[in-house]
């Protein structure tokens, strides 16, 4: 498994991992449904010190993670 920084931030790739409202709720209970790219860009903004990552198993994308500066 490997983490790859998602910079520049690609919210379309994150959205592709979320199949339905229940998935979205598990990932981020306060997220707007349907997936709101602007909301995610605001929260994950690397220029604000946040670190978004994509998670790969070999070459297969399996998830997303982020560290948010508070």
Q: Residue 59's pLDDT is what?
A: 96
Residues 27-70 have pLDDT tens digits of 999 999 999 999 999 999 999 999 999 999 999 999 999 999 88
Task: Count other Cβ atoms within 10 Å, centred on residue 55.
Answer: 16
Q: Residue 70's pLDDT is what?
A: 84
Give 11's contacts (C-beta < 8 A, 6+ positions apart): 35, 37, 40, 41, 44
Give the total number of structural domains in the chain.
Answer: 1
Q: Is 19 helix (H, G, I), strand (E, B) or coil?
A: coil
Q: Check pLDDT > 90 for residue 7.
A: yes
> How far apart are the C-alpha atoms of 2 and 30, rounded to whole Å?
27
* Domain coverage including residue 31: 2-67
Q: What is the rounded average pLDDT of the residues 2-28?
A: 97
């Amino acid at each position: 498994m490997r983490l790859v920084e998602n910079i520049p931030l690609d919210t379309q790739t994150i959205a592709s991992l979320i199949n339905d409202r229940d998935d979205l709720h598990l990932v981020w209970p306060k997220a707007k449904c349907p997936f709101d790219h602007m909301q995610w860009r605001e929260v994950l903004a690397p220029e604000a010190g946040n670190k978004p990552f994509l998670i790969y198993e070999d070459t297969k994308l399996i998830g997303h993670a982020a560290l948010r500066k508070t």
